[in-house]
A and B are shown apart, each in its own frame.
Chain A
Amino acid sequence: MARALITVPKTARRGEIIEIRALVQHPMETGYRRSSEGDLLPRDLIRRFSCRFVDSGKANDSGTIMFAATLHAAISANPYLSFNLRAQSSGTLAFSWEGDNGFSQREQVALIVV
């Protein structure tokens, strides 16, 4: 498992716009670089990122995708993404990264709205 760093405030006031920052450890190998022997380094990218918000107030809420991104080779190694959320109700933020060579990482962070 790669290391992921997620920054979300633990609590937020209702209606407050919070900032979410997510970073995951990944080389984001472009497929355009060559090794010192001259061989082309195979492409290894994270292709897809998504953040779902699961409302704890609603029963059996499967979550709504509140932010998603399709990433290409021009995204730096250890992809960092920052975006916002208007805190309306308490719930869970479910993060997912998917990429080449079966890369898959999932993280969850709880958000409490007071």
Chain B
Amino acid sequence: MKRRVFLSSSAGLVASVIVRPVAALAQSDVLTPLVNAYAAGGVVREGRVKFDIAPLVDNGNSVPIEITVESPMTPAQHVVGIALFNEKNPQNQVAEFTLSPLAGRARVATRIRLALSQQLVAVAKMNDGSCWTHTVEVLVTVASCIEE
């Protein structure tokens, strides 16, 4: 094989490896029914919601989180609520927030407890009934709920 031919074919091989899309995180079977129950029949799609949390958590007793949703927050088009669920704590509900167009920005920050390394999902409900989700996986080194 001529060197020029070999180089051009190998370049094509590298490109095909890079182009392959990154597989989306598969949502846990525990979370999906909770999300659907909160959606109450609305269409659930992934996107628009940004779940901000450290991927590696040192202390599960107090984990800072921030949820932001892409929305103009006008009376005609706004986020009415955000729900947060976890996969492996003794209780799957974390919190449900109610928002209004007065907020101007769809953002909530709080601190939560995490018992184990697990998945978390944030669901935002829009005023038209549609729901948007973001699922994240976190690693917890010191768990909550277990120690004294």
Interface set of A (CB-CB < 8 Å, partner B): 17, 30, 32-36, 53, 64-77, 79-86, 88
Contacts and interface: CB of A to CB of B under 8 A. Distances in A.
Contacts of B77: none
A52 to B, nearest CB: 10
Interface of B: 61-63, 66, 73, 86, 89-91, 93-100, 102-105, 107-114, 145, 148
A64 B99 CA distance: 11
Pick the 9 closest A-B CB pairs, nearest first. Answer: A86-B104, A82-B109, A76-B111, A68-B98, A17-B104, A74-B94, A84-B105, A66-B102, A76-B62
A16 B145 CA distance: 40
B110 A80 contact: yes
Contacts of A64: 100, 102
Contacts of B109: 80-83
Contact of A76 (B91, B105, B107, B112): B112
A68 B145 contact: no
Contacts of A88: 102
A74 B112 contact: yes
